[in-house]
């Protein structure tokens, strides 16, 4: 959510939680995409994480992996074939969910037959965590290599000297045609230079009907995928499994998540020894990359097909223009929404499994807000109808209290605050499908819920009391009141919140990571660490007349000056030792920065800030034009937040 991982807890709290909480690992086969149910009687931080079943556990196993680094390089020297070294994690990684990332790779690119064949024929496959010597030799250091990724390393037959001939990391968008082309290209380049033996017979071309199915999915025409799959139902088994798999994928992208999960499960049962059967089993369990939004089959620009270093485009040479990005992001968000209206790709559970329903409501609200902004720009009636339908479904989902876990005390704030923001935006939009009669009572209820969890000190919390959560509460309430008029209980809540936030502000302009206790003065936080949250916190004081334009501009300028500290932790799913940032901070802080800039009067200074922000956003686009910061919160959150940051 977006859910924001921003949603963090301090290191001490996090360590204490890990030490004191029993982590229950349970095999869950219920589709992760199913509408979440509040099964918890009280707040808990217990995690329930899915364990791959016997079929899903075999994902990626048809690649003939070596697991010993020394053995792989000896085989490389003898055969002349380079090593294809898949690096699932670094020994000292900042990644918390490395097993999830490993499954995404194994049930993603390493389960597609053409990629399997290319790797087995042209390389010595190696899947291993590097040792200290390898980390130094191949520059597999924290920050410089962010898992998952791979190296292709050639080995001299006589000298034994090695050379890295290709390097890919930060793979958060697993675009299968892009990866197929990349790996085939590396194999072909190696053969042309004489560094390896021939790779054997080429992969046979797929039958025309299967190519048509792939093209329909490439064109995001899921209805055509369904038609073609049904038309070619009586065919040889070798191609039937891919047809069946793509039919399940198209069903998922049409919003029928539970039906798709059942289809994936049947494929796994029917083909338990096939690589795509292994993949289907993982997707059925909700732990595969496709249902989580990381595996992509849509068409991408030819320039994006030439990207070779990571799934993110070159920040200095962005592939897509803002208009292209908006269209692609909307297409992706529409393809990830369940027919219930919810968006369930995030598996952020640091507040425990009981917090996941609230994470999903928060993400759905953010996606709804992003789509609502785009709806107002549409002139094509069909396109407008698609987006409006998605917005209405998201609205109904977020308004339904049965989708919220009210006993959860860790992520409850984000669900309540973002749905208040969403419904206030709906009220302002005048969307005919959501009448004033509907939105008025819903906003009143949402407003009461946000005010109801405010602490006596005036602050709000997610896992603990802190300034950036309180600032989010202030901004949400202000936008609500701007939509529906003054509400005495909200005015009082705002006054208490601003008083709390003012106590946390140091004269340097910094705000602490966690609220200081009553009666104590905040210590000056290092600007490198505080810069990310400063614009949002200062904006919350500014809208209530407790700050000045000069202070607001200073906070924004500081966030840009210190941006590299936020940027270096991008794509990590946990705190780093770089001022305790993590990937999960990125879009939350960028959205806070955007809100602060939006409070400035039109001026050269504002225009400059907007241009800086837009440049950063565009530079973070993935090969398909979408966005992510931490894989755990999900690409829907990152994509929706980036979309909102692009709007004025």
Domain residue extents for the chain: 56-192, 208-285, 303-646
Q: Determine what percent of the chain is predicted with pLDDT higher than 70.
A: 91
pLDDT of residue 235 exceeding 80: no
Q: How much is the pLDDT for 237?
A: 75
Q: How much is the pLDDT for 192?
A: 65
- CATH fold for the domain made of 303-646: Glycosyltransferase (1.50.10)
Q: How much is the pLDDT for 194?
A: 56
> Residues 57-101: pLDDT tens digits?
999 999 999 999 999 999 999 999 999 999 999 999 999 999 999
pLDDT of residue 486 exceeding 90: no
> Residues 436-479: pLDDT tens digits?
667 888 999 999 999 999 999 999 999 889 999 999 999 999 99
* Range of lowest pLDDT (81-85, 108-112, 355-359, 441-445): 441-445
- CATH fold for the domain made of 208-285: 1.25.40
Instruction: Transcribe 313-379 into DSSP letters.
Output: PPTTS-S--HHHHHHHHHHHHHHH--TTS--------TT-GGGHHHHHHHHHHHHHHHHHHHHTT--
- The average pLDDT across 357-361 equals 97
In words, the CATH class of domain 56-192 is alpha beta
Q: How much is the pLDDT for 26?
A: 32
Q: How much is the pLDDT for 155?
A: 87
Q: How much is the pLDDT for 436?
A: 65
Spatial contact of 231 and 247, defined as CB atoms under 8 Å apart:
no
pLDDT of residue 568 exceeding 60: yes
Total length of the chain: 648
Q: If you average pLDDT over every residue of the chain, what do you get? A: 90
Secondary structure class of 66 (helix, strand, coil): strand
Secondary structure class of 198 (helix, strand, coil): coil
CA distance 247 to 258: 14
Question: Which helix (DSSP H) or strand (DSSP E) does residue 606 occupy?
Answer: helix 604-619
Q: Name the nearest CA neighbour of 128 among 73, 84, 86.
A: 86
pLDDT of residue 16 exceeding 60: no
Say how many C-beta atoms besides its own lie within 10 A of residue 73's C-beta.
21
204 pLDDT band (50/70/90 cuts)? low
> Which residue in this structure is represented by tokens 């899903």?
56
Spatial contact of 394 and 364, defined as CB atoms under 8 Å apart:
yes
CA distance 262 to 227: 19
> Residues 256-270: pLDDT tens digits?
999 999 999 999 999
Please, what's the b/e burial string for 566-592 (b: 16 or more CB within 10 A of its CB; e: otherwise)? beebbbbbbbbebbebbbbbbbbbbbb
Peptide bond into 148 cis (omega under 30): yes
- The average pLDDT across 565-582 equals 92
CA distance 342 to 615: 31
17 pLDDT band (50/70/90 cuts)? very low
157 pLDDT band (50/70/90 cuts)? low
- The average pLDDT across 377-383 equals 91
Total-model pTM = 0.91
């Amino acid at each position: 959510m977006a859910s924001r991982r921003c949603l963090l807890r301090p290191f001490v709290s996090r360590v204490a939680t890990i030490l004191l909480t029993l982590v229950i690992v349970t095999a869950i086969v219920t589709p992760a995409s199913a509408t979440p149910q509040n099964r918890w009687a009280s707040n808990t931080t217990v995690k329930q994480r899915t364990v791959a079943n016997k079929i899903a556990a075999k994902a990626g196993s048809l690649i003939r992996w070596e697991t010993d680094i020394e053995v792989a390089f000896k085989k490389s020297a003898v055969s002349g074939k380079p090593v294809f070294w898949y690096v699932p994690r670094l020994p000292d990684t900042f990644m918390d969910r490395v097993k999830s990332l490993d499954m995404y790779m194994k049930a993603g690119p390493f389960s597609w037959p053409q990629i399997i064949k290319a790797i087995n024929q042209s390389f010595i496959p190696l899947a291993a965590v590097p040792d200290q010597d390898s980390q130094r030799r191949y520059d597999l250091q924290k920050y410089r290599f962010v898992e998952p990724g791979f190296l292709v390393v050639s080995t001299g037959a006589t000298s034994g000297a090695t050379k890295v001939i290709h390097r890919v990391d930060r793979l958060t968008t697993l675009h299968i045609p892009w990866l197929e082309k990349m790996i085939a290209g590396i194999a072909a380049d190696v053969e042309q230079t004489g560094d390896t033996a021939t790779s054997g017979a080429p992969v046979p071309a797929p039958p025309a009907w299967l190519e048509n199915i792939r093209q329909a999915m490439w064109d995001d025409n899921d209805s055509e995928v369904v038609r073609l799959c049904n038309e070619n139902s009586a065919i040889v088994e070798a191609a039937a499994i891919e047809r069946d798999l793509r039919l399940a994928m198209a069903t998922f992208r049409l919003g029928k998540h539970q039906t798709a999960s059942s289809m994936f499960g049947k494929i796994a049962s029917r083909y338990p020894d096939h690589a795509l059967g292994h993949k289907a089993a993982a997707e059925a369990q909700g732990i595969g990359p496709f249902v989580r939004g990381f595996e992509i089959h849509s068409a991408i620009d030819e320039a994006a097909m030439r990207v070779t270093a990571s799934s993110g485009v070159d920040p200095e040479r962005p592939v897509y223009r803002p208009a292209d990005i908006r269209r692609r992001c909307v297409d992706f968000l529409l393809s990830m929404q369940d027919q219930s209206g919810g968006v369930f790709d995030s598996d952020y559970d640091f507040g425990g499994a009981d917090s996941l329903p609230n994470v999903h409501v928060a993400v759905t609200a953010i996606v709804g807000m992003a789509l609502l902004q785009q709806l107002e720009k549409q002139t094509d009636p069909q396109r407008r109808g698609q987006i409006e339908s998605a917005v209405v479904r998201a609205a109904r989902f977020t308004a339904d209290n049965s989708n919220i876990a009210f006993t959860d005390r860790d992520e409850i704030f984000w669900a309540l605050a973002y749905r208040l923001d969403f419904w206030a935006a709906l009220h302002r939009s005048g969307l005919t499908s959501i009448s004033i009669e509907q939105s008025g009572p819903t906003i009143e209820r949402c407003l009461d819920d946000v005010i109801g969890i405010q602490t006596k000190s005036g602050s709000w919390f997610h896992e603990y009391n802190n300034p950036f959560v309180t600032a989010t509460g202030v901004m949400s309430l202000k936008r609500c009141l701007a939509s529906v008029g003054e509400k005495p209980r909200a005015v009082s809540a705002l006054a208490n919140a601003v008083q709390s936030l003012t106590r946390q502000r140091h004269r340097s302009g910094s705000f602490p990571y966690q609220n200081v206790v009553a009666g104590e003065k905040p210590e000056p936080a290092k600007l490198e660490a505080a810069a990310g949250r400063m614009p949002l916190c200062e904006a919350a004081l500014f809208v209530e007349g407790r700050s000045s334009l000069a202070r607001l501009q200073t906070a924004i300028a500081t966030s840009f000056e210190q941006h590299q500290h936020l940027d270096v932790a991008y794509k990590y799913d946990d705190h780093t030792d770089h001022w305790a940032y993590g990937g999960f901070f990125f879009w939350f802080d960028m959205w806070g920065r955007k809100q602060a800039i939006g409070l400035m009067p039109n001026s050269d200074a504002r225009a400059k800030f907007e241009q800086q922000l837009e440049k950063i956003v565009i530079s973070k686009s993935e090969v398909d034009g979408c966005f992510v910061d931490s894989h755990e919160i999900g690409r829907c959150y990152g994509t929706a937040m980036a979309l909102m940051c692009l709007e004025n």
